[in-house]
A and B are shown apart, each in its own frame.
Chain A
Amino acid sequence: MAHGAGGKASRRLIDGLFVPLLYGATPPALGDAAFVDVGGGRVALTTDSFVVTPLEFPGGSIGELAVNGTVNDLAVAGASAVALVVSFVLEAGLRSAVLEREVRAMAGAARRAGVAIVGGDTKVVEHGKADQMYIATTGVGRRIPGLELGADRVRPGDRILVSGPIGDHGITILLARGELDLEACLRSDTRSVLPFVLALADAVPAGIRWMRDPTRGGVATTLNELALDSGVAIQLHEDRLPVRPEVRGACELLGLDPLHIANEGQFLAVVAPACADAALAALRAVPGGEGASLIGEIREAPAAAVLVTTGYGGTRIVDMLVGDPLPRIC
């Protein structure tokens, strides 16, 4: 099933099955988190499940991903995480040391992100019915004051900002699987992006139109979703995309596009043109945000498309990822 890889198939599953059957006739705005009224206050709510092989990789592990992923989904929806609950699905025979390591990793990530883990559940399934361990986390968050986000707020002329180098996580995982005889000094970028979102909200609250973290399917898929939701065109500039040489090298070798590779500690923001420089400066001022970059802008046409301009004026369309990225050999 290609439905989990974050590309077109995932989108079809959501639009064609989940929304009509679970929500009802009127499709809600699909964001990384939902806002619900609870006792007169508005609370952000999101959930995510984490499945990764290997469990541990340079720069992180499944436990850290499980905390940061949910904190980030809340952050890019404009909310700071308050509390998480966690579900474990464990394969019988999993070593207790591995479980302990991951629980410790979760505790560390929660502490760094400033969020409490307040509840959880554990299920054990027969050996062979799961791949070591799966973790699901659900988080509630408090709205960050002053932020009004939505694909419908995006206008031609707006600028697109990315918080740092892209593709680190996906390529790290690919190499950590050990199936390729390739080595690189790369680490997953998994981290909480909340400090960056807060810095942005502080600097240019009214100028932020939309945010999203480009996880599975990468920057290309996330921006294609924005283009579809808002009907605008998105123009990226290849020479402004922050990509580490190691990631570029691996992508060149394997015939992959860094724009399709997953990230776990970056986010994209669309900001009003007048605020773009201030927004960039605010991101770069946060430790770990030095690699932030303005990578493109919103245009009117061609509708609902993402284009990349190469360094010499040629352009190409960048589509959503179809299935998992497969390396080209022959």
Chain B
Amino acid sequence: MRFVDEYREPELVTRAAEEIRRLADPGRHYRLMEVCGGHTHAIYRFGLKDILPENIELIHGPGCPVCVLPMGRIDDGLAIGERENVIFAAFGDMMRVPGARGSPLERKASGMDVRIVYSPTDALKLARMHPDRHVMFFAIGFETTAPSTALTLKRARDEGITNFSVFCNHVTIIPAIRAILDSPDMRIDAFIGPGHVSTVIGCRPYEWIARVEGRPIVVSGFEPVDMLQSIVMLLRQLRSGTATVENQYTRVVPWEGNRAALAAMAEVFELRPFFEWRGLGFISQSALRIRDAYAAWDAERVFAIPGVRVTDPKAAQCGEVLKGVLKPHQCKLFGRECTPERPVGALMVSSEGSCAAYYNYEHRKTAAARVAQPVGA
């Protein structure tokens, strides 16, 4: 497969891994955060941890949109879906996320009209196909998916489609990184910057991380060669004591971002004063809402929503895992009460969530190794 296989070439992977081993100071422990859930998934899927030296610790960041969504928002969305005549449309990613009274998939089984769509325009297509029903699209995602929601809303307005609305849960990446850096229990040496988000926002918005916070950041692609190369670039910076923004993913990410996508977002969305993130709490100016000009398509204004606030299950330590303070398997519920099949926290739902990724790809391997180790070792 072109554009994929050349970035999975075993020889290139081996060479990059050797370079990492050469650059990493054995006397030092490196804590690198991959911001994006797609990176977390790739790390486990390709078994990258097995080929990195032990003193390079990868910490999974907040960049999985499903995982950071508070449960109350899911219940609010489902409350709209419960109304007569409403079709609840969302990405497959959302379908197993538990609300207080079940996930969208479970609600579908008990009769709610829930549809999986692959793009917001497919939800708009549903609205055209069912003029007598109302289609509500449950929008999630960072700047990666926000432009397509914006373009869909513009199209709905242009075509005068009135039986369509968006329940907007779009969030922005920069405030989340800031919250991580501001967190007192956080020690991160450098960042593997998000790839897909950066295709839209470019690399400039990260400059403060290097300049003010003194942390190197490399925007990275998602294939094994990409990720290892990004780690090489970070280690070079750490070794020389510099901190800059670098772009490893140049084949996709333009330094200035995508102006057309940014313009569409700016036309349709504005910043919310604050928004709740699961595990990170309320973060100011961290999410998008629909502008007044599009109020007729804003599900939060079309419908009265209950505004549900649900505290996360007490025993679940999603927040600590999300901030990288705990590893997934260190959570009290991990693998027992909380599994991909019966998730308690959202990190266990999305395959980009660090708990699900860890569970699916890693934990039995680790469990076996633990059993194999003699007591007291």
Contacts and interface: CB of A to CB of B under 8 A. Distances in A.
A9 interface: yes
A23 interface: no
A1 B372 CA distance: 38
In this complex, the member of B10, B47, B116, B340 whose beta carbon has the largest number of chain A beta carbons within 10 angstroms is: B47
Interface stretch (A39-47, A204-212, A285-293, A314-322): A314-322
Contacts of B46: 310, 314, 316
B1 A301 contact: no
B93 A330 contact: yes
Contacts of B351: 255, 328
B51 A314 contact: yes
Nearest to B64: A330
Interface stretch (B20-28, B140-148, B239-247, B306-314): B140-148
Interface in B11-70: 13-14, 17, 41, 44-51, 65-66
Given A255-B351, A312-B13, A329-B145, A317 B362 contact: yes
A289 to B, nearest CB: 25
A302 B370 CA distance: 11
A307 interface: yes
B91 interface: yes
A316 B118 contact: no
A252 interface: yes
Contacts of B361: 316-318
Nearest to A326: B92
A185 interface: no
Contacts of B48: 314
A312 B227 CA distance: 14
B66 A315 contact: no
A219 B92 CA distance: 22
A327 interface: yes
Contacts, number: 111
Interface in B352-377: 352, 359-365, 367-369, 372
Given A323-B96, A326-B96, A327-B92, A302 B364 contact: yes
Contacts of B50: 313-315
A1 B363 CA distance: 26
Contacts of B352: 328
A248 interface: yes
Nearest to A307: B365
B195 to A, nearest CB: 14
Contacts of A326: 92-93, 95-96, 116
B340 A330 contact: no
A328 B364 contact: no
Contact of A245 (B1, B10, B116, B140): B1
A323 B118 contact: no
B8 to A, nearest CB: 7
Contacts of A302: 364-365, 367-369
Interface in A168-225: 179-181
Contacts of A181: 118
A21 to B, nearest CB: 23
A312 B14 contact: yes
A8 B368 contact: no
A190 B30 CA distance: 51
B202 to A, nearest CB: 20
A8 B1 contact: no
Contact of A316 (B47, B92, B140): B47
A303 B17 CA distance: 29
Nearest to B369: A302
9 contacts: A305-B364, A311-B10, A314-B50, A319-B359, A326-B95, A327-B91, A327-B116, A330-B66, A330-B144
Given A2-B341, A302-B368, A314-B224, 13 more contacts: A1-B109, A8-B341, A179-B117, A245-B1, A302-B364, A305-B364, A307-B365, A309-B47, A314-B47, A317-B361, A326-B92, A328-B93, A329-B118
Interface of B: 1, 4, 8, 10, 13-14, 17, 41, 44-51, 65-66, 91-93, 95-96, 105, 109, 116-119, 122, 140-142, 144-145, 224, 340-341, 350-352, 359-365, 367-369, 372
Q: Nearest 7 CB-CB pairs, A to B?
A: A314-B47, A302-B368, A326-B92, A330-B141, A329-B91, A316-B361, A312-B13
